[in-house]
């Protein structure tokens, strides 16, 4: 039997404990002023320990298998004071519960078939999601839509494999099972469904789950000044010496319900200074991890705009002219600002916001998936391709059935029907305690 505080360890209005394990409801009843005998209903009860009142709590019992973990479970809503939380933890330990590991509740849920592996991963993404669009993507996966689609494709693959294997036994007869069964067309159908699924999925990497906005430009154009101005405090050093910023500096701001991570970088120029050259190389790498690049220029560097346009190519970017308090620009820009006077800063924030919203890859996608899932889907796709080739040529039909077994096996690994040993640890360690 395990227990954990499901809410943060901090003073708050209420704290929620979660407990799970066979028979745990009866054990908890032993510490209540009056036992609870009805499941899935909220009761107010006093928790009594050593003859003294610990706290008056709201309590819900769940009986196996109708709970998150699939085991008997209890939720206890207590007053959110740290001393109450500490005393209740003492009661649970005294009753024989042990503290849960991170993700242990979800792991039990997975082992009891309440969640597929991909749904469990989506639970982590949902907890970690910081803005609306990512939350929606993870919720779709938590709700099992992606798993169901893969299960459906897996069933089709199985049926086709059984059909192909069956046709092998009758291969001497004067009947072309493969073409009569339109096997090739059906396989192509499965392939295009899988391809469609990949296209509608956003692969989450740690960096891309944040909306990183990179400040890029020649040295001394005021990137750091603009970065500080947007944050509202002096985060990065500013000086009139070109090459002040050497490393990447990031900081988050929250604007109109989206979280943006602003990243200040070293000015880009040809340089002999080795340290600065490294900084420059790093900001070029950083371009690929960003959702938006702001090219910051001033009146001395206006003619470099075209160089940046070619470096950035198809990357989502905005040209920003800074130091408008000193001189107006001589060409058109997406935004004209002065980090010094604050002119144009609100417009720039709005532009960034709109640009992120419009270009948010996520907004065009249906699912959020892990790198691991993409690898499995791609391997399924390539096995389908070889299978389709064999079937179309009507050669090696026996081997074509083997290809389909491999496709099925990739799907099973996605769903967690089978998995390598260390994978479970990797996934569930990412959870917080109490989930
Ligand atoms: N007049 C005026 N000066 C500015 C403005 N923004 C920045 N500066 C000045 O421009 C100089 C360079 O500013 P930084 O913010 O350090 O420029 P940077 O682009 O980060 O420079 P590096 O880190 O060296 O690449 C400093 O002297 C700033 O005070 C502005 O809007 N108007
Ligand atoms: Mg700087």
Report strand pairing: 317-321 vs 249-255: unpaired
Whole-angstrom CA distances from 397 to 154, 158, 182, 344 are 19, 15, 14, 67
Q: How close is the Cα of 296 to the center of ligand 2, in Å?
A: 11
pLDDT bracket for residue 394 (50, 70, 90): confident
Q: For position 175, what pLDDT does the model report?
A: 61
Q: Which percentage of the chain shows pLDDT scores above 70?
A: 84
DSSP assignment of 44-76 equals EEEEEETTEEEEEEEEEEE-TTSSSSSS-EEEE
- pLDDT tops 70 at residue 208: no
- Structural domains for the chain: 2-100 (3.30.1360.120), 132-200+368-428 (1.20.120.430), 211-363 (3.40.50.300)
**Position with higher pLDDT, 126 vs 155:** 155
- Residue 63 CB: number of other CB atoms within 10 A? 12
From 218, 220, 300, 324, give the residue whose CB has the most ligand 1 atoms within 8 Å, as the site to mutate. 220
Reported as a pLDDT band with limits 50, 70 and 90, residue 135 is: low
Q: What is the pLDDT of residues 349-359, one digit of tens each?
A: 999 988 887 76
Which candidate, 116, 124, 31, 20, places its Cα nearest to that of 66?
20
Q: Residue 21's pLDDT is what?
A: 97
Per-residue pLDDT tens over the stretch 153-198: 999 999 999 888 888 776 666 666 666 678 889 999 999 999 998 8
419 or 90: whose pLDDT is higher?
90
Cα distance between residue 99 and residue 97, in whole Å: 7
The answer to which of 34-48, 112-126, 148-162, 391-405 has the lowest mean pLDDT is 112-126
Peptide bond into 395 cis (omega under 30): no
What spacing in Å lies between the alpha carbon of 351 and ligand 2's midpoint?
22
Name, in order, each residue with C-beta under 8 angstroms of 395's C-beta and a sequence gap of 6 or more.
Answer: none
Q: What are phi and psi of 422, to 5 degrees?
A: -80, -10
Q: Within 10 Å of residue 3's Cβ, how many Cβ atoms? A: 26
**What is the chain's Cα-based Rg?**
29
The per-residue pLDDT for range 42-69, each reduced to its tens digit, is 999 999 999 999 999 999 999 999 999 9
- Cβ(248) to ligand 1 under 6 A? no
The residue whose CA is least distant from atom 32 of ligand 1 is: 323
Please enumerate in sequence order all residues whose Cβ is within 8 A of that of 341, keeping only pairs 6 or more positions apart, or say none.
Answer: 324, 325
Instruction: Write the CB contacts of 103 (distance below 8 Å, at least 6 apart in sequence).
Output: 124, 427, 428, 429, 430, 431, 432, 435
Average pLDDT, the chain: 85
List the structure tokens of 174.
């004067």
Residue 63's nearest CA partner among 22, 9, 6, 121 is 22
Which of the four pLDDT bands, split at 50, 70 and 90, describes residue 129? Answer: low
Structure tokens at 315: 């990357």
């Amino acid at each position: 039997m395990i227990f954990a505080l499901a809410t943060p360890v901090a003073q708050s209005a209420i704290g929620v404990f979660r407990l799970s394990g066979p028979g745990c409801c009866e054990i908890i009843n032993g510490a209540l002023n009056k036992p609870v005998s009805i499941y899935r209903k909220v009761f107010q009860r006093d928790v009594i320990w050593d003859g003294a009142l610990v706290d008056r709590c709201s309590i819900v019992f769940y009986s196996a298998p109708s709970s998150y973990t699939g085991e008997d479970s209890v939720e206890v809503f207590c007053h959110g004071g740290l001393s109450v939380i500490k005393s209740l933890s003492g009661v649970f330990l005294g009753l024989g519960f042990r503290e849960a590991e991170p993700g242990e509740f979800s792991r039990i849920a997975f082992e009891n078939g309440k969640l597929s592996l991909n749904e469990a991963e989506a639970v982590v993404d949902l907890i970690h999601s910081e803005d609306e669009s990512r939350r929606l993507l993870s919720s779709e996966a938590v709700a099992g839509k992606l798993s169901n689609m893969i299960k459906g494709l897996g069933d089709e693959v199985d049926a086709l494999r059984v059909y192909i294997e069956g046709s092998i036994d009758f291969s001497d007869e004067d009947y072309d099972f493969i073409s009569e069964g339109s096997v090739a067309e059906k396989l192509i159908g499965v392939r295009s469904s899988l391809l469609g699924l990949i296209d509608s999925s956003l692969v989450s990497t740690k960096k891309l789950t944040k909306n990183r906005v990179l400040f890029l430009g020649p040295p001394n154009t005021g990137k750091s000044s603009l970065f500080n101005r947007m944050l509202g405090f002096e985060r990065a050093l500013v000086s009139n010496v070109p090459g002040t910023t050497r490393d990447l500096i990031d900081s988050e701001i929250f604007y109109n319900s989206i979280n943006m991570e602003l990243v200040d970088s070293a000015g880009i120029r040809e340089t002999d200074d080795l340290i600065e050259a490294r900084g420059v190389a790093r900001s070029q790498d950083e371009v690929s991890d960003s959702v938006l690049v702001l090219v910051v220029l001033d009146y001395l560097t206006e003619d470099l705009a075209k160089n940046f346009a070619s470096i950035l190519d198809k990357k989502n970017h905005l040209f920003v002219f800074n130091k408008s308090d000193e001189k107006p620009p001589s060409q058109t820009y997406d935004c004209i600002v002065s980090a010094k006077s604050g002119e144009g800063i609100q417009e720039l924030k709005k532009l960034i916001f709109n640009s992120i919203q419009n270009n948010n890859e996520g907004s065009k996608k249906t699912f959020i998936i892990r790198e691991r899932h993409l690898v499995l889907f791609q391997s399924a796709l390539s096995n389908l391709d070889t299978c389709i080739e064999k079937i179309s040529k009507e050669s090696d039909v026996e081997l074509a059935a083997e290809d389909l077994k491999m496709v099925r096996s990739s799907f099973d690994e996605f769903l967690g029907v089978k998995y390598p040993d260390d994978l479970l640890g990797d996934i569930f360690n990412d959870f917080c305690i109490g989930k």
